[in-house]
Amino acid sequence: MDSTEFGRWSHAAADWSTGYLEGVGKRPVRSRNAPGSLLEALPAEPPMAAESMEEIFADFERLIPGGMTHWQHPRFFAYFPSNAAPAAIVAEQLAASMAAQCMLWQTSPAATELEIRMIDWLRQSVGLPDTFSGTFQDTASTTTLSAVLVMRERALDFRGNSEGLSGQPRLRVYASGRTHSSVDKALWIAGLGLENLVKIPTDEGPLFPMQVHELEAAIAADRAAGHLPAGVVVCIGGTSTGATDSAREVIAVARREGLYTHVDAAWAGSAMICPEYRHLWEGVEEADSIVLNPHKWLGSSMECSAHFVRDPESLVRTLAIQPEYLKTRGADGVVNFSEWSVQLGRRFRALKVWFLIRAYGIEGLQAMIRNHVDWALALCERLRKEPDIEIVTEPVLSLFSFRHHPPGIDDLDAHNLALIERINNDGRIYLTQTRHDSVIAIRFQAGQFDTTESDLDIAFDAIRELAATD
């Protein structure tokens, strides 16, 4: 592809993206593809000869968008959001053109320094003290894995990487039973084993926080059994229903016990740009490590996970490999962010954060999040007044759950699963379910950039209409 052709197709892609974003609200939110339908449409073998961009682009338009679930749809109310604000999309195109590889300062000095500054802009925006620095990881899962690896290495005086875990006491990590499955996975991958993730029971709703006296008891029992407590994961805004621990109380126990603390605020952390929600993570400034995902609610597009740490040195001691060819020469004092992450090669994530924050301003982003929270609360109250709908978990920020509970239905779980299927097949909105304690509940969250209040009216109508027809 020569530069003339590159220019032509880049413009075609930009035009396509513009039309897509203008029209996405008219598509069904969830793809209607049957399983295997794209596979059937694709040739089984790769082409030996080059094909024209006309054909490639036409196939893209014909085959791909209809097979996508539209996370940019203003009535995407499922899971948590994953937004790509237009300013961030533009930055991604620029970063892609440079094939930026940001592993060392010298492999992309501007990228490293922009990352330092963007992490600091975010730090200020969410009200964390300047004792925190950080980096952009790809996802919260990798960030949590990095934190669990630090827990392991600290507990073993940084000998785990060289000596391995055999012959060591059992290392123990604590979290509430309502933390994200990425914490489980981090324990597998760190070699600690899921049995050593001690799930602490939680208190009552709406926040379902970890029972701190149970945490203390579990640590004491483990020490008595000769195990080695290593760290605690604090949950702020859990994925199922927004479960939120008391950061202040949990971290106080952990610090007294000498344990490393990691705060998973992957979703809720974005809302902390609004001071009025910061009570949800009150005490967080004492944590060792915090993750929040600008790619969820702030619009930075996948993958962009902000990892704040109070003591970067323990992260670097855990994750830095320094073969001769990677040693920075002649640039003392510079940061090499590959030493802060599991992966070596790193994308240029700071560029989209820079574009995003400047294009909306912190005030613009705050206004968006406040709207989502207010509109979700209003929808919750409207649904509460409906005779056959019960609120299962109360709103935490813009997330709540409900179920349809008409008289005379024996199997309410099956009834609600069928209702979700009808809602999602209808196409106006997209919702997902969760199992809360023993019941199936329908989750609702508002978090898409272009969502308006009238989109929540449509959600109300769709839920009410489809609940009345089975």
Q: Which residues bind ligand PLP (CB under 6 A)?
A: 80, 139-141, 180, 182, 237-239, 264, 266-267, 293, 305
For 329, list phi and psi in degrees, rounded to 5.
-110, 135
Task: Tell me the closest approach of the beta carbon of residue 443 to ligand PLP, in angstroms.
Answer: 12
**Residue closer to ligand PLP (CB basis): 289 or 336:** 289
Distance (Å, rounded) from C-alpha 101 to C-alpha 418?
47
Task: Tell me the closest approach of the beta carbon of residue 225 to ligand PLP, in angstroms.
Answer: 29
Query: Which residues of 113-267 form beta strands (DSSP E)?
Result: 133-137, 171-176, 197-200, 228-235, 260-264
Distance (Å, rounded) from C-alpha 114 to C-alpha 301?
17
CA terminus-to-terminus distance, the chain: 54
**Residue closer to ligand PLP (CB basis): 105 or 444:** 444
Distance (Å, rounded) from C-alpha 427 to C-alpha 33?
13
Q: Note whether 377 and 401 are within 8 A (CB).
A: no
**Residue closer to ligand PLP (CB basis): 144 or 366:** 144
Pull the structure tokens for residue 107: 């492999």
Task: Tell me the closest approach of the beta carbon of residue 220 to ligand PLP, in angstroms.
Answer: 28
Task: Tell me the closest approach of the beta carbon of residue 298 to ligand PLP, in angstroms.
Answer: 13
**Residue closer to ligand PLP (CB basis): 352 or 428:** 352
How many other C-beta atoms lie within 10 A of the C-beta of residue 173? 25
Task: Tell me the closest approach of the beta carbon of residue 142 to ligand PLP, in angstroms.
Answer: 7
Q: Which of 387, 470, 467 is nearest to 431 (CA)?
A: 467
Distance set, CA 251 to CA 197, 354, 467 (Å): 17, 32, 44
Distance (Å, rounded) from C-alpha 265 to C-alpha 293?
8
Q: Is the peptide bond before 54 cis (omega within 30 degrees of 0)?
A: no
**Residue closer to ligand PLP (CB basis): 85 or 263:** 263
**Residue closer to ligand PLP (CB basis): 238 or 395:** 238
* Cα-to-chain-centroid distance, residue 334: 29
Task: Tell me the closest approach of the beta carbon of residue 267 to ligand PLP, in angstroms.
Answer: 4
**Residue closer to ligand PLP (CB basis): 236 or 462:** 236
CA-based Rg of the chain, rounded to a whole angstrom?
A: 24
Task: Tell me the closest approach of the beta carbon of residue 434 to ligand PLP, in angstroms.
Answer: 12
Distance (Å, rounded) from C-alpha 372 to C-alpha 359?
19
Helix 212-224 and helix 247-256, axial crossing angle in degrees, nearest 10: 20
- Where do the H-state alpha helices sit in 64-180? 86-97, 109-125, 140-155, 160-163
CA dihedral 112, 113, 114, 117 (to 10 degrees): 120
Task: Tell me the closest approach of the beta carbon of residue 331 to ligand PLP, in angstroms.
Answer: 31
**Residue closer to ligand PLP (CB basis): 182 or 366:** 182
**Residue closer to ligand PLP (CB basis): 306 or 319:** 306
Task: Tell me the closest approach of the beta carbon of residue 80 to ligand PLP, in angstroms.
Answer: 5
**Residue closer to ligand PLP (CB basis): 112 or 182:** 182
> By CB neighbour count within 10 A (0-12 exposed, 13-18 middle, 19+ buried), where does 397 fall?
buried
Task: Tell me the closest approach of the beta carbon of residue 304 to ligand PLP, in angstroms.
Answer: 9
Distance set, CA 245 to CA 207, 213, 371, 407 (Å): 7, 13, 25, 35
**Residue closer to ligand PLP (CB basis): 140 or 357:** 140
Task: Tell me the closest approach of the beta carbon of residue 206 to ligand PLP, in angstroms.
Answer: 16
Distance (Å, rounded) from C-alpha 442 to C-alpha 41?
34
Beta bridge partners of 443: 401, 432
